[in-house]
Chain A
């Protein structure tokens, strides 16, 4: 860069804003403005206050100065030394123009911005968005959750795959009623759908929809075991975990848009979001909350929590032998410390003797709701 020598006379090109003709021009830097003389002999006076710089901020980019709104005239100067001379000759008015000497500082500031973006992004992702999701999810009307939940269940359970043998269905519904009876206020109507599918899984959609797969039902040995699974899923609904997860995903997608400024990233994320919605996969914290609250639910309903613990243990011990249980374990990992935590909670709350569930029923018969 030839910033060492200050010159007042420069060669450039003048565009009159009416025709695409480039007119060679002599530009003289003065204290209050530019004196522009075109090759054809016309002379214009451009006061600095009326000039905007629109190009010339990067290495190798010509300087472009514009004047006028509706019919914009422009001056192009290819020599990057022009700006340095402009700042030397008219420091005060030139402060509105880019100074090439400050590019190094701009690079440092950009690096600083990158660090700040990483920091803010991480903070939003780790705390900001989960906090916002909690606030928003708590204010989503139950009727919206129900509509969403119904559409998810319709998508997961195609018509004809649901097992709805009325007598047995009533027994399962009674189980849910027993579990939720001690709750003071119940905003949701719980609806359990049993799917004729050998997969070992159970899940909760927003709005009180619980889906039980036949495979799981057949692996429960007592009604208490099923009650444990149901209590866990009921708490997912009551704690609005699905709604929170959904809000969190949408917000993260928005954050993604803000960061990349690009729609394709959001589309990729939207696909991810749809997958999460389909699989209803919750965070570990949500699973632990559903465990702990579900166990409290069992205790409040005077259901023996040993059934819940026994079911999780049974799942874990079958991990190697029966690959079918992996589906359930992938969302409900029955790890050692999870079981230990459950046992501890069960010890803490067992003052009243548990009642026996479904006395007089043959559980192996109830389980055969799918025929």
Chain B
């Protein structure tokens, strides 16, 4: 497969290093294509030896995009957003996401993004109606209107409740929306976690964290990640997470204790440790992610990005984004057999139109403010 960007990136494509997997023969056109049945049931694939990879493999993600192209998108987006008084913002988001996913590749195939600006706009309006409007009205009752004190207290409590609920609901909504609009090899991702479960994790976690002066934080952190990763699906196969918060408690405590002696730099070590831990315990079928990131490169990435943004007054944002993606992909591998034969499209996830407002907390399409 031609890989024009690999030389520009100064290193060979990771795909060039490993022997071509059997099912990639089709794209190279050198080997004879494996005999594939017509529109199939999954059962007929399961017996196809060319699809099941027999040996231990290691796969990498690769990013083909460039800061220059992203900058072009960014500048046109900016112009249109300014000219439309901000309305184009939602379409601008779609263009950036489409570019980023289209330039990301694994196993010789790129991802695809299927979201639309219209859906993002509707999601934004949904959030306005269900959260912003009630919060403004209730704040008005609490602070401005001349009503009975009990009503003011009630309004104040409701505002607090809405704000507390909003963060987890918006997080789940965004996750649900983004995954359902992403695909690889024509198969959609999806997220099936229920917002109310995440609200519970969030409320309990925040409360216990504050009661324990933050010591509970790593447990809370891992719970959130476990929910976000473990409820993600690719077609009919679920991602898994096998970690537990107690494994990060030690490093967290150590970082906390060393903070004054390291001027806080120890947190880069913790961030790298955390990222390794979370990825290393994320699974996809029999395959498992591996992350090799360490503190020093992570520090260089973040400090470099900050410098880039400050020196360019924010105009360097596209390059910072590309740096961040390439960095994440460089240290991430997917190891073990990637048996795709049993995977099928999940009809619920594939439908872009059949989603309605399925209850407030689990709004079908989700909404995305990010």
Contact = CB atoms under 8 A, between A and B. Distances in A.
A166 interface: no
Interface stretch (A60-68, A87-95, A157-165): A60-68
Interface string A21-62: 111100000000000001111100000000000110011111
Given A78-B27, A265-B309, A265-B314, A21 B51 contact: yes
A101 interface: no
9 contacts: A20-B340, A21-B23, A23-B36, A39-B26, A70-B351, A78-B1, A113-B76, A258-B81, A265-B309
Interface stretch (B90-98, B239-247, B259-267, B278-286): B90-98
Interface stretch (A9-17, A215-223, A308-316): A9-17
A204 B71 CA distance: 43
Interface in A102-146: 106-107, 109-110, 113-114, 116-117, 120-121, 124
Interface size bucket, A side? 35 or more
A54 B39 contact: no
A59 B353 CA distance: 32
A19 interface: yes
A71 interface: yes
Chain A contact residues: over half helix, strand or loop, or mixed? Answer: mixed
A39 B343 contact: no
A19 B92 contact: no
Contacts of B39: 16, 18, 42
Contact of A54 (B38, B102, B353): B102
Contacts of B96: 261
Interface of A: 11, 13, 15-24, 38-42, 54-55, 58-62, 64, 69-74, 76, 78, 106-107, 109-110, 113-114, 116-117, 120-121, 124, 256, 258-262, 264-265
Contacts of A72: 114, 183, 186, 350
B289 interface: no
A218 B243 CA distance: 65
Interface in B280-337: 309, 314, 317
Interface residues of B, number: 63
Interface string B226-254: 00000000010000000000000000000
Max chain B CB contacts within 10 Å: which of A19, A22, A117?
A19
Nearest to B86: A258
B131 to A, nearest CB: 17
B182 interface: no
Given A17-B345, A70-B354, A261-B89, A42 B75 contact: no
B222 interface: no
Interface string B22-64: 0100110100010111111010010000010000000000001
Contacts of B26: 13, 22-24, 39
B303 to A, nearest CB: 14
Given A73-B186, A265-B314, 9 more contacts: A20-B187, A22-B26, A55-B112, A61-B110, A71-B347, A110-B75, A113-B76, A113-B78, A265-B309
B270 interface: no
Contact of B29 (A11, A62, A258): A11
Contacts of A20: 184-187, 235, 340, 343
A22 B109 contact: yes
A60 B75 contact: no
Contact of B76 (A11, A76, A110): A110
B103 interface: yes
Max chain B CB contacts within 10 Å: which of A70, A113, A117?
A117
